[in-house]
């Protein structure tokens, strides 16, 4: 089982979040698909409407797709701004 969360407590209805590095950014018709690596070396494939900085460190907020293959991000914030 893969957990898309860090240790921060959250309120009900709030998306899970994770701290990670964005890389391998590719543009699609509807947004951007990229990989995220977390501090425990977990890798995730994400989709977001805006382009992340390659090798940028972000807090990512989102939910897994039904097949758990892709995370649809609701928001991403540069870690230095959080």
What pLDDT is attached to residue 38?
Answer: 92
Q: How far apart (Å, rounded) are the C-alpha atoms in residues 58 and 36? A: 9
Cβ neighbours of residue 35 under 8 Å, at least 6 residues apart?
A: 22, 23, 24, 43, 44, 45, 46
- Residue % of the chain over a pLDDT of 90: 73
pTM of the model: 0.79
Q: Output the CATH code of domain 16-81.
A: 2.40.50.140
What pLDDT is attached to residue 55?
Answer: 95
What pLDDT is attached to residue 71?
Answer: 94
What pLDDT is attached to residue 57?
Answer: 96
Quick: pLDDT tens for 48-68. 999 999 999 999 999 999 999
Cβ neighbours of residue 61 under 8 Å, at least 6 residues apart?
A: 15, 16, 17, 73, 74, 75, 76, 77
pLDDT level of residue 11 (50, 70, 90 thresholds): very low
Delimit the domains of the chain by residue range.
16-81
Task: Name the CA radius of gyration of the chain, rounded.
Answer: 12
Dmax over Cα atoms in the chain, in whole Å? 35
Answer yes or no: are the C-beta atoms of 6 and 17 closer than 8 Å: yes
């Amino acid at each position: 089982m893969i957990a898309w969360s860090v240790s921060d407590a959250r309120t009900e209805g709030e998306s899970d979040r994770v701290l990670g590095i964005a890389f391998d950014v590719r543009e699609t018709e509807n947004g951007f698909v990229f990989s995220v690596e977390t501090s425990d070396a977990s890798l995730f494939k994400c989709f977001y409407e805006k382009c992340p900085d390659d090798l940028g460190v972000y807090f990512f907020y989102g939910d897994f797709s039904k097949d758990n293959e892709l995370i649809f991000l609701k928001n991403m914030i540069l870690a230095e701004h959080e």
